[in-house]
Amino acid sequence: MEDGNEYQGYQLPHELVALRDQVKRVIREEVIPAETKVDPDAPEILDEDYWGIAHKIQAAGMWCMGSPKQYGGGGLGMFPMCLLMEEMCQHRMGLYNPGAGVFGRTPPPVIWAGTEEQIQKYAVSTLKNATYTFFGITEPSGGSDPAGSIQCRAVRDGDHYVLNGTKIFTSHAHEAEWGVVFTRTDPGAGRGGLPLSLSKRGRPALRHGRSRCCAPPPYQTWSILKTAGFQSHSGSGPRVAV
Ligand X SMILES: Cc1cc2nc3c(=O)[nH]c(=O)nc-3n(C[C@H](O)[C@H](O)[C@H](O)COP(=O)(O)OP(=O)(O)OC[C@H]3O[C@@H](n4cnc5c(N)ncnc54)[C@H](O)[C@@H]3O)c2cc1C
> Residues in the site for ligand X, rule: CB under 6 A?
96, 134-138, 142-145, 169-171, 219
Among all residues, whose Cβ is closest to ligand X?
Answer: 143
Least Å distance, CB 145 to ligand X, is: 6
Q: Which helix (H) or strand (E) holds 37?
A: none
Cα–Cα distance between 218 and 9 in angstroms, integer? 41
d(CA 41, CA 188): 43
Give the three-class secondary structure for 28: helix
Could you give the CA distance from residue 165 to residue 155 in angstroms, rounded to a whole number?
A: 11
C-alpha to C-alpha distance for 242 and 109, rounded to whole angstroms: 9
Which CB sits closer to ligand X, 80 or 94? 94
Q: Which is nearer to ligand X, 129 or 144 (CB)?
A: 144
Shortest distance, position 146 Cβ to ligand X, whole Å: 8
Min CB(168)–ligand X separation in Å: 7
Shortest Cβ distance from residue 50 to ligand X (Å)? 19
| Closest distance of CB 231 from ligand X, Å | 19
C-beta closer to ligand X: residue 63 or 219: 219
> Is residue 189 packed enough to be buried (19+ CB in 10 Å), middle (13-18) or exposed (0-12)?
exposed
**Could you tell me if 198 and 114 are in contact, meaning their C-beta atoms sit under 8 angstroms apart?**
yes
* CA distance linking residue 18 with residue 41, whole number of Å: 32
